[in-house]
Amino acid sequence: MLKVKNVHAKYGKLPVLRGVDLEIGEGQAVALVGRNGVGKSTTLRAIMGLMPKSDGTVIFNGEDISKVPGHRIPHRGIGYVPQGRGLFPNLTVYENLCIGLPGDPDAEMKDYVYTSFPRLEERSRQAAGTLSGGEQQMLAIARCLVMRPKLLILDEPTEGIMPSLVAQIRSEIKSINEKGVSILLVEQNIKMALRICSRLAIMEKGVVVHEGLSEEIRNQPELLKRYLGLTL
């Protein structure tokens, strides 16, 4: 459903993406991992039309979206939770949920969001900036869901979240995927990435250097050590 082909991008003259290739099948969950600064967030921004591409294409459901402006991409069916979440801290929880929608979330979606995240219902009239880190992350995810995406892209959703809430966010992402939404997850926590995603793509210096089944990569400690400096 998503095909990223040979994407290049620069900050000024500095090349950051040097030919990224990445594929996500219908209903799949894929993790994009790699050390700090290798270009993971930039790859997501390039997919979302928030970063100019000097070369390459992004195909979503058979359509070339490489030139679609960033503010139109969510309407094509891709939800994006940026690193740092991108909420409007002074707007209420409810107002944040309505951003991007022509009106209010429909009743079915409201039920779904408030059943999945009861805390958001309790706090719907409260300013988003007053929520805890974990609650803000859930709001950021819920805000994408009300647009009914076919693909949800998450950039480090557990960064700065209390360990006790990490499991809840993980199971929520899993259940979103089980409902048929494809997932592209950037995650430093490799164990979490392996538990959510059936495939893993490893990035180094602006390219994907390895791609494969999570199960197989889990059993290749030399790969994890070489590219991530990790021992599981």
Ligand X SMILES: Nc1ncnc2c1ncn2[C@@H]1O[C@H](COP(=O)(O)OP(=O)(O)O)[C@@H](O)[C@H]1O
**CA angle at 16 for the pair 15 and 21, rounded to the nearest 5°:** 115
| Minimal distance, residue 30 CB to ligand X, in Å | 15
The DSSP secondary-structure symbol of 231 reads -
**Partners of 60 in the β-ladder:** 2, 63
Span from 31-39, 84-92, 107-115, 220-228 in contact with ligand X (CB under 6 A): 31-39
Residue 87 corresponds to which tokens in the numbers above? 């909420």
Interface with ligand X, residue 53, by CB under 6 A: no
Q: Kindly identify the residues of this chain, within the stretch 173-192, that bind ligand X according to CB under 6 A.
A: none
**HEC assignment per residue over 121-137:** HHCCCCEHHHCCHHHHH
| Minimal distance, residue 83 CB to Mg ion, in Å | 5
Closer residue to ligand X (CB): 42 or 66: 42
The DSSP secondary-structure symbol of 91 reads S
Binding residues with ligand X: total (CB under 6 A): 10
Interface with Mg ion, residue 41, by CB under 5 A: yes
Going by C-beta distance under 8 Å and a sequence separation of 6 or more, which residues neighbour residue 205? 18, 38, 39
| Minimal distance, residue 17 CB to ligand X, in Å | 8
Binding residues with Mg ion: total (CB under 5 A): 2
Q: Which residue, 69, 102, 74, 103, is CA-closest to 86?
A: 74
Applying CB under 6 A, among 42, 66, 177, 214 the residue interacting with ligand X is 42
Residue 213 corresponds to which tokens in the numbers above? 């089944």
Can you tell me whether residue 64 is helix, strand or coil?
Answer: strand
Given a contact cutoff of 8 angstroms between Cβ atoms, the answer to whether 183 and 154 are in contact is: yes
Span from 34-42, 94-102, 157-165, 216-224 in contact with ligand X (CB under 6 A): 34-42
Q: Which residue, 77, 60, 44, is CA-closest to 184?
A: 44
Interface with ligand X, residue 228, by CB under 6 A: no
Closer residue to Mg ion (CB): 2 or 38: 38
Span from 33-41, 114-122, 124-132, 211-219 in contact with ligand X (CB under 6 A): 33-41
Interface with ligand X, residue 37, by CB under 6 A: yes
Gyration radius of the chain over CA positions: 17
Span from 34-42, 98-106, 194-202, 216-224 in contact with Mg ion (CB under 5 A): 34-42
Binding site for ligand X (CB under 6 A): 11, 16, 34, 36-42
Binding site for Mg ion (CB under 5 A): 40-41
